[in-house]
Chains A and B, each alone.
Chain A
Amino acid sequence: MDVTLELGEEILERKHKHWFVFAMKSILFVILVLLPLIVLFLVSGVSHIQTYIDGSSPVLFFAGLWYLAVWIFFFIKWTDYYLDVFILTNKRVIYISQKGLFSRRISSTRLDRVQDVSAEVSGMMPTFLNYGNVHVQTAGETQEFVLHDLPDPDFIKNKILAQYGAAVRIPAEVVITEKKPE
């Protein structure tokens, strides 16, 4: 399942989820990396750690096994994070969502089918770091698709609306004119 661009279609914007989302998931890995060292320290003290690292010992073996598992698990999570991508082209909005190693979903909608776009920033850290969800309401079978945890959702919303304007050939800026009282 791959994204193939149509004739004359070009990529205008490509965004991954905000880095903070992955940083939060990485805290678990930091704990997992430190765990064997903490256990070893509690069991034997600092002066004896060197003896485990020097020669062949089951401690070194199981530490290697532990770190290998953590390393592979970390890379699976990294793949999961990095292969989630939002792509805006001059014809479509595409959202690729990778779920683990064996599930991948590509949602796309044509710009002329977009009915409404809204940006949502909810929570303390998303507010400080300016990331959140973008909801794209469409006229298609899938009524709405949500682009999760994108950086600067307001900018993305405006960009989609601008491209929608270009796609249906109406100006993106809406000029509000006040009616003067007669």
Chain B
Amino acid sequence: MGNTSLPFSFPTISLPSAEPLLSGIFFVALILTVIFSAILIYHWVRYGKHVLHTRVVISIYLVGVLLFLSMMRLGI
């Protein structure tokens, strides 16, 4: 039984951490979410007053947004 180790070693590649990339995507997503949310809430406050409980719609929307943003944050 001889030595089974290879006479050479494979070059190791050090991959950069994914965290800065994910944080960057998170930051962009956060900004876009804030912009879209502001536009949506503006619409509901201005035009939705005749049609439904605006506060209920906005609250449900914001709960969903916060949930998915925290899901993203947990994933980083």
Q: Which residues of A contact B (CB under 8 A)?
A: 2-3, 14, 16, 56-65, 67-68, 71-72, 75-76, 79, 82-83, 85, 96, 98, 101, 104
B75, A57: Cβ atoms under 8 Å? yes
Residues in A neighbouring B13, C-beta threshold 8 A: none
B15 CB to nearest A CB, Å: 13
Interface size in chain B (residues, C-beta < 8 A): 30
Q: Which residues of B contact A (CB under 8 A)?
A: 18, 22, 25-26, 29, 33, 36-37, 39-40, 43-44, 46-48, 50-52, 61, 64-65, 68-76
Specify which of B46, B48, B76 is in contact with A61 (CB 8 Å cutoff). B76
Interface majority SS (helix, strand, loop, mixed), chain B: helix
A61→B21 CA distance, assembly (Å): 11
A7→B73 CA distance, assembly (Å): 53
A57 to chain B: closest residue by CB? B75
Given contacts A58-B18, A68-B29, A72-B65, contact A16 B51 (CB under 8 A): yes
Give the number of A-B contacts (CB < 8 Å): 83
A107 CB to nearest B CB, Å: 15
Residues in A neighbouring B61, C-beta threshold 8 A: 71, 75
Can you report 21 A-B residue pairs in the complex whose CB atoms are below 8 A from each other?
A2-B46, A3-B50, A56-B75, A57-B75, A60-B71, A60-B72, A60-B74, A60-B75, A61-B75, A64-B71, A65-B25, A65-B68, A68-B29, A68-B33, A72-B36, A75-B64, A82-B51, A83-B43, A85-B51, A98-B47, A101-B40
A75→B36 CA distance, assembly (Å): 10
Please give me the 6 A-B residue pairs with the lowest Cβ-Cβ distance, nearest first. A61-B75, A64-B71, A60-B75, A64-B72, A68-B68, A71-B64
A3 to chain B: closest residue by CB? B50
Tell me which of A3, A61, A98, A101 has the highest count of chain B C-beta atoms within 10 A of its own C-beta: A61
A62→B26 CA distance, assembly (Å): 10
Residues in B neighbouring A72, C-beta threshold 8 A: 33, 36-37, 40, 65
